[in-house]
């Protein structure tokens, strides 16, 4: 739910799909504000498809992009949501420079509360100029997985920070809503690195084995018996050159 909320709050959204993806459910879920006018500039899908998708809503469909229709509205209180399907064809028809200029105008238009661009990734070359620029100007991106049809990758830019997630889409027939479920990845077990042993740092043996340890513990030094009996004492016998001073024992240390 948090991901869906962030996507709805994004002012510009890019949906990256291919020929076998149905983006209509996710579009109708993202544009759920009934107090707005939806303007759809159709290049790929027919006008009838879009009118059926947003049935009962205030929808205006146009064949191709019409600059004069981007901000015109008879109701001054309602905001606009603009959808371009698809930006691939729009860039081909008017050229990339003019296409980018019109997209910037949508971004700066105070009447447009959100614009959504549909990009068919299977129709462009990898790392194309079109793809790079669209990723830069939009603040939210939905990219469909190549193998799993209901898996998407989400990227949201806000205040210079990036929010990225991997989500699974599911449709709830009871509430007629599309749900986003984050993909929880299993924790990878971190393999413990081999401990660095002193024996591995030298070409000769510097450690003792178990037998040597036992022999070491068996060894009894002469003075140990006296210490264990509590008879151990420390005797100090001054040298002849020592100049002992009871008042200042450290006088000879030259401190």
- Give the domains, in start order, of the chain with CATH numbers: 2-182 (3.40.50.300)
The per-residue pLDDT for 107 is: 87
191 against 198, higher pLDDT: 198
pLDDT of residue 199: 62
pLDDT in tens, 140-177: 999 998 888 889 999 998 887 888 899 998 888 787 77
Mean local confidence (pLDDT), 193-207: 62
Mean pLDDT over residues 93-99, rounded? 90
Give the torsion through C-alpha atoms of 219, 223, 228, 231, to 10 deg: 170
CB atoms within 10 A of CB 42: 20
Mean pLDDT of 203-216: 72
Task: Give the model's pLDDT for residue 118.
Answer: 94
Share of the chain above pLDDT 70, in %: 75
Residue 87: other Cβ atoms inside 10 A: 24
211-241: pLDDT as tens digits? 777 777 777 777 666 666 666 566 667 666 6
Question: Residues for the chain: how many in total?
Answer: 255
pLDDT band at residue 128 under the 50/70/90 scheme: confident
Beta carbons within 10 angstroms of residue 10's beta carbon: 19
């Amino acid at each position: 739910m948090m991901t869906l909320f962030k996507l709805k709050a994004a002012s510009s959204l890019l949906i990256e799909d291919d020929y076998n993806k149905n983006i209509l459910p996710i579009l109708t879920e993202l544009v759920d504000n009934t107090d707005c006018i939806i303007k759809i500039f159709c290049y790929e899908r027919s006008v009838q498809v879009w009118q059926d998708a947003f049935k009962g809503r205030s929808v205006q469909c146009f064949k191709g992009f019409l600059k004069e229709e981007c901000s015109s509205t008879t109701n001054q209180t309602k905001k606009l949501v603009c959808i371009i399907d698809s930006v691939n064809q729009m860039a081909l028809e008017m050229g990339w420079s003019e296409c980018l200029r019109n997209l910037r105008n949508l971004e700066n238009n105070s009447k447009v509360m959100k614009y959504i661009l549909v990009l068919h990734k299977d129709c462009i070359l990898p790392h194309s100029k079109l793809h790079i620029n669209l990723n830069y100007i939009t603040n939210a991106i939905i990219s469909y997985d190549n193998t799993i049809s209901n898996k998407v990758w989400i990227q949201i830019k806000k205040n210079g920070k990036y929010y990225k997630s991997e989500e699974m889409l599911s449709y709830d027939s009871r509430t007629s809503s599309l749900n986003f479920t984050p993909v929880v990845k299993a924790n990878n077990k971190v393999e413990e690195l081999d401990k660095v042993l002193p024996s591995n740092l030298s070409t000769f043996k510097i450690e003792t084995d178990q037998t040597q340890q036992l022999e070491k513990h068996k060894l009894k030094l002469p003075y140990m018996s006296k210490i264990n009996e509590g008879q151990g004492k420390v005797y100090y016998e001054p040298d002849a050159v020592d100049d002992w001073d009871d008042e200042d024992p450290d006088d000879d240390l030259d401190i």
